[in-house]
Amino acid sequence: MSRNEIAWKEQPKFPSTHFVDTRIYTDNQIFREEQEKIFNKCWIIGCHESELPNAFDYRTFHHPGGAQLFMIRGEDMKVRAFYNICPHRGNTLLYDPVGNAKRITCIFHAWSFSPKGECTDIPRGKEGYQERYGCKDASLREVKSEVGYGGFVWVNVDDDSCTLKEYIGDALGMMEENLSMPLEVFTYHKAIVNTNYKLWHDTNSEFYHDYMHYFNRITGMMQPGYFDRKYKGYPNGHASVGSMAIKYDAYAGSQERAVGWPGLAPGGWVLIDLFPGMTFNLRTSVLRMDTAIPLGPDKLIIEFRGLGLKSDTPEQRAERVRDHNTIWGPFGRNLHEDLLGVHGQGLAMRERSDSKWVLHGREENSTIHDEVGMRHFYAEWGKRMGRQASDPFSDNKLA
Interface with other proteins (CB under 8 A): 50-51, 59, 96-98, 185-193, 212-215, 251-253, 321-322, 325-326, 329-333, 335-337, 339-341, 343
Our CB check for other proteins shows the closer of 174 and 327 to be 327
Our CB check for other proteins shows the closer of 55 and 379 to be 55
Our CB check for other proteins shows the closer of 57 and 370 to be 57
Our CB check for other proteins shows the closer of 153 and 168 to be 153
Our CB check for other proteins shows the closer of 110 and 258 to be 258
* CB of 291 vs other proteins, minimal distance in Å: 13
Q: Which residues pair with 112 in a beta bridge?
A: 105, 121
The Cα 201–Cα 392 span in angstroms is: 19
Instruction: Report helix angle 335-348 to 197-205, nearest 10.
Output: 130
The Cα 353–Cα 287 span in angstroms is: 37
CA distances from 283 to 27, 219, 264, 267, 286 (A): 35, 13, 9, 7, 6
* CB of 110 vs other proteins, minimal distance in Å: 25
The Cα 32–Cα 36 span in angstroms is: 7
* CB of 94 vs other proteins, minimal distance in Å: 13
* CB of 360 vs other proteins, minimal distance in Å: 22
* CB of 338 vs other proteins, minimal distance in Å: 9
For 301, counting Cβ atoms within 10 Å of its Cβ (0-12 exposed, 13-18 middle, 19+ buried), the class is middle
Our CB check for other proteins shows the closer of 61 and 83 to be 61
The Cα 186–Cα 163 span in angstroms is: 28
The Cα 378–Cα 395 span in angstroms is: 18
* CB of 302 vs other proteins, minimal distance in Å: 10
